[in-house]
């Protein structure tokens, strides 16, 4: 879906801007030729825009200079970190009037404070560097997703992920933030405190703000002892209706040791297998099941180290004996995670696909899936429901694939209509239209339709206060 550039943005003297940026930030911090900018202009969904330039400040002080410069030239700024976001908010539009400000060079990591269970890091630190740094100190950041985002982007989009049921979203793991506002003001809230009840908590404004209120430059993260025992299994529920009972049984026995309960529809599994030949065929010669759940139990306590795996295996066998589950696989834990991670990557390659990131009270997830299945069967019989998601926290990556042989029956307008119908169904079931990916150009119209007017007004008032000239971020939601 191509999107019109925002032509309300003022024309600026781009050559003068770039020359001044090089003077202020140094030539190595300013990219302006198309080849160097290309990586920052294209997002993980393959959508491209054109940037006026890419700025790569290496410190908070340089970010302040960059923001003041953009203010002086009245240039719009799109903050970017790992560029793995899924709502089109991390890359510029096609106007070539927006600057991408990438925080990737701000990637310093301080030593881990093991006693306080915290670490202070730059916004450009990628997960693939943070985890080894923490693990060396016996700690862990409980976000493992099928992409490699940076801390700043994760905070700005308030990442969820597969362990949310135990550890919460990124918001629950942020102790402190440093951010730079559109006019260059530094908001220093870099505290390493778990209790700090001193009025409005300003750092919360930046969490989930999608780059619209300021550029996050540093953060203090709450971290956790690295689990010493992890037990993963793949469960096939006897029927879809058995899912809540399976979840409740595992919660009743293991409480907070249950870190993962990830649902995968049979069609999502089939899609991953068809896309990636190297994936281990976990179900052998048997049919791909209608639904499977990746379960993980983990503990960092010595107390459980020896007994957890045997107990979990026995519990899963009981669930099969009692006919709540048809199968429980436990032999290849790494392969279960590879399958789970392959699903979003394979669905992103589908030619015609709608991917909605929705959530519900988990008590309504089963009835919603039944309703959406019925809706597709009766009104769009060619469409294939290939959803997957974080069942334990009510999340569903509601993915609908149009098979290639039906593509001509689904021109762009038809896809838009189907998308609107699905969002209306989500709203009718009391769900959220954006569970964990945030708001951006891809779902901005849904925000206008489904977020209450008072909420939109409050967002607008906060935006007006922090970015009165409205130059920050792609999301126009605020």
Q: List interacting residues with ligand FAD (CB under 6 A).
A: 44, 78-86, 89-90, 103, 123, 145-147, 149-150, 152-154, 156-157, 159-161, 210-211, 215-216, 344-345, 436-437, 440, 473
Q: Minimum distance between the CB of residue 253 and ligand FAD, rounded to whole angstroms? A: 26
Tokens of 400: 């609908």
C-beta of 195 vs 351, nearer to ligand FAD: 351
Question: Please, are residues 32 and 40 in contact by the beta-carbon 8 Å criterion?
Answer: no
Rounded to 10 degrees, the C-alpha dihedral 237/238/244/246 comes to -60
C-beta of 137 vs 345, nearer to ligand FAD: 345
Q: Look at residue 218 and give its three-state secondary structure.
A: strand
Q: Is 2 exposed, middle or buried (0-12, 13-18, 19+ CB in 10 A)?
A: exposed
Instruction: Please measure the distance between the N-terminal and C-terminal CA atoms of the chain and give it in whole angstroms.
Output: 23
Q: Minimum distance between the CB of residue 130 and ligand FAD, rounded to whole angstroms? A: 12
Q: Minimum distance between the CB of residue 183 and ligand FAD, rounded to whole angstroms? A: 15
Q: Minimum distance between the CB of residue 58 and ligand FAD, rounded to whole angstroms? A: 13
Per DSSP bridges, beta strands 258-265 and 384-385 are unpaired
Measure the CA–CA gap between 53 and 185, rounded to whole angstroms: 22
Measure the CA–CA gap between 167 and 223, rounded to whole angstroms: 10
Closest CA to 230 of 333, 316, 338: 333
> Cα-flanking dihedrals φ and ψ of residue 258, to 5°?
-75, 110
Q: Minimum distance between the CB of residue 238 and ligand FAD, rounded to whole angstroms? A: 27
C-beta of 229 vs 473, nearer to ligand FAD: 473
C-beta of 267 vs 357, nearer to ligand FAD: 357
Question: Please, are residues 141 and 134 in contact by the beta-carbon 8 Å criterion?
Answer: yes
Q: Minimum distance between the CB of residue 66 and ligand FAD, rounded to whole angstroms? A: 12
Question: In which region does residue 210 sit, left (phi positive, over 0), alpha (psi from -120 to 50) or beta (all else)?
Answer: left
Within 10 A of 384 (CB to CB), how many other CB atoms are there? 20
Tokens of 323: 């006919």
C-beta of 274 vs 307, nearer to ligand FAD: 274
C-beta of 88 vs 289, nearer to ligand FAD: 88
Measure the CA–CA gap between 214 and 473, rounded to whole angstroms: 8
Q: Minimum distance between the CB of residue 186 and ligand FAD, rounded to whole angstroms? A: 13
C-beta of 410 vs 441, nearer to ligand FAD: 441
C-beta of 24 vs 145, nearer to ligand FAD: 145
Q: Minimum distance between the CB of residue 455 and ligand FAD, rounded to whole angstroms? A: 19
Q: Minimum distance between the CB of residue 160 and ligand FAD, rounded to whole angstroms? A: 4
Instruction: Give Cα separations from 242 to 325, 336, 435, 455 (angstroms).
Output: 8, 21, 24, 37
CA angle 243, 245, 251 (to 5 degrees): 105
By Cβ distance, which residue is nearest to ligand FAD? 153
């Amino acid at each position: 879906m191509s999107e019109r550039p925002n032509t309300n943005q003022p024309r600026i003297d781009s050559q003068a801007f770039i020359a001044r940026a090089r003077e202020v930030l140094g030539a190595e911090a300013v990219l302006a030729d198309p080849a160097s900018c290309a990586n920052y202009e294209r997002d993980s969904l393959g959508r491209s825009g054109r940037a006026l330039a890419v700025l790569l400040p290496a410190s908070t002080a340089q970010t302040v200079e960059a923001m003041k410069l953009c203010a002086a030239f009245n240039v719009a700024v799109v903050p970017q970190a790992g560029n793995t976001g899924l709502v089109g908010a991390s890359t510029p539009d096609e106007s070539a009037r927006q600057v991408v400000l990438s925080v990737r060079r701000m990637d310093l990591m301080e030593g881990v404070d093991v006693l306080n269970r915290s670490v202070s890091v730059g916004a450009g630190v990628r997960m693939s560097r943070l985890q080894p740094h923490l693990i060396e100190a016996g700690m862990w950041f409980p976000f493992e997703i099928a992409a490699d985002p940076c801390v700043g982007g994760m905070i700005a989009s308030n990442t969820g992920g597969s362990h949310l049921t135990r550890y919460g979203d990124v918001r629950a793991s942020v102790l402190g933030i440093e951010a730079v506002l559109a006019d260059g003001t530094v908001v220093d809230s870099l505290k390493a405190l778990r209790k700090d009840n001193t009025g409005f908590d300003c750092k919360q404004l930046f969490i989930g703000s999608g780059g619209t209120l300021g550029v996050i430059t540093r953060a203090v993260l709450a971290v956790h002892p690295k689990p010493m025992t992890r037990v993963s299994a793949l469960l096939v529920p006897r029927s879809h209706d058995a899912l809540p009972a399976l979840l409740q049984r595992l919660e009743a026995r293991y409480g907070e040791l249950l870190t993962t309960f990830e649902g995968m529809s049979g069609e999502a599994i089939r899609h991953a297998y068809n896309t990636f030949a190297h994936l281990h065929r976990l179900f052998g010669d048997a049919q791909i099941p209608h639904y499977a759940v990746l379960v993980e139990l983990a503990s960092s306590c010595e107390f459980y180290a020896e007994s957890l795996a045997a107990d979990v295996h026995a519990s899963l066998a009981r669930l099969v004996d009692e006919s709540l589950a048809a199968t429980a696989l436990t032999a290849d834990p790494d392969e279960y995670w590879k399958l789970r991670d392959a699903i979003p990557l394979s669905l992103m390659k589908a030619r015609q696909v709608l991917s909605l990131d929705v959530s519900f009270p988990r008590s309504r997830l089963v009835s919603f899936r039944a309703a959406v299945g019925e809706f597709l069967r009766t009104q769009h019989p060619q469409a294939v429901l290939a959803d997957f998601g974080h069942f334990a926290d009510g999340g569903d990556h509601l993915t609908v694939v149009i098979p290639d042989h039906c593509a001509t029956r689904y021109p762009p307008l038809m896809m838009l209509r189907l998308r609107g119908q699905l969002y209306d169904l989500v709203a009718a079931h009391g769900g959220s239209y954006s569970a964990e990916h945030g708001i951006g150009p891809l779902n901005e119209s849904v925000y206008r339709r489904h977020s209450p007017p008072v909420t939109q007004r409050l967002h607008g008032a906060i935006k007006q206060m922090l970015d009165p000239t409205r130059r920050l971020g792609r999301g126009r939601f605020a």
